[in-house]
Structure 1
Amino acid sequence: MEKLESQFLQDKQERNTAMIDVLQHLTAIKNETTFGFEDMRGEFRSLFEAYDEKVSVYKTQVDNITTHLATSEEEINNRIIKTMEELERVQSEQEERLDTCRSEVNSLRTHITNLETPIIRLVNMSQQWPVPPSTCAATQVLTAASGSIAVVEAGKYDNNIDCEWIINLPAGNKILLKWIYIDMEIKDNCPYDYVTVKNLNTNQLEYGNTMCGPLLPNNLLIESNRIRIAFHSDGSNTGRGFELHYLGTE
């Protein structure tokens, strides 16, 4: 009996010891599991924080790109608008210039048409010119609707002579000049021998200046009914002078 009780107590103690070991083992497992979960939680937390940080960075970059794209689109639109406005301005200027050119061409056509008839008349008259030219003799006033002017009829003019012809036609007339020849001493600015044509209504020299040498002046329709043609020679070097025909036209 005592032996059984002793055996029972020994078994009980062993069982208690074994249960204590089991509880300690379970406690250790629990602690290890708890520590493992805490470590995993920390890692997950770190991962989520890093993820949130990257998401925030990406979001900022996306916002910047969106803003840049919006700004670029606005700049492009503004440039397109400015380009279109510039094209419209250039087109308008070109149209204005084209209108001006058309107007000038029409005006020139009208002028040529107006000039054509008196030129033809003058050419026809010059081919059959019956009246001898009015030659150099001080001051002469010509009132005929047409005529011829020359320094001399033949040969060369004298040194040191001055003469002038004043063509005086009724108001409203214009005077057309047709040069036949010019032959006098040549020098820059014509300081020696020369001829001038002056508009007596504007007091301005036609052709811009004095004329000399052998170069034939252009035929000219003068918008005036009164002009003065003057000739001068110095003390040396002479020539044939000049000859021209004039015609008055309304």
Structure 2
Amino acid sequence: DGTVQELLEILGIPYSGPRVAACARCMDKVAAKHTMGRHEIPTPDAVAFNRTAFRELVAADTLPEIVERLGLPLVVKPASQGSALGVGFAISAADLPGALLAAFSYDERVLIERHAVGRELAVGVLDGEPLPIVEARPRDEDRFNYDARYEIGRTDYVCPAELSDAEAAAVREVALQTCEALGVDGFPRVDLILGLDGPLVLEVEAIPGLTDTSLLPMAAEAAGISFEELCGRIIEPARAGST
């Protein structure tokens, strides 16, 4: 959320990756949504509110209107969490209060988003250039949740994703546009859904994971970049004193 970056700047320690404001903007899904909207980047429709508003206004009067406006199913997300933590799904209107309560256990604000149907894609960007596109295909579940994301064997990945030239170009273009709009540089990852009407941006990980199941190293490997080389390229700007 930019906290570590701000501390490093105070201490005068060079670092790689996005600056403070960009990290904070990406971590805050509500702020990121608003920014993408201003730049006309396609993203699923959503509404957001905090815990107080939910208690005093939303629960009794507004939920039916939200369902009518966005349609079902809905995705409910904590506003400032990554790795799909706290993400819930409302298949029916009756599911929505429980999904909201679960999301509020992780954050004071939540985002209710129209569920986008399509292929789950990720575009890593390294030094301003898109890496091969990754497609995530959960094996036994129809949603890419925290367990499916981090437990080896729960999700199949295809990299490069099997896309037409036009589809791949559209996905790469919107990923780069999103990074520019959010002010993100370095080595971000853009998560998207590719539906019948084109790509929709879900969110941007300003500092993506680098674990055994992480998508950025997978995409780099598909581009012929070893993990060691990837790490070297990530830290090179800081080593060179260019933050």
- Give the shorter-chain TM-score range: under 0.3
Q: Could you tell me the TM-score, scaled by structure 2's length? A: 0.20
Q: Could you tell me the TM-score, scaled by structure 1's length? A: 0.19
Q: Which has the higher contact order (CA 8 A, sep 6+)?
A: 2
Which structure carries more helix by proportion?
1
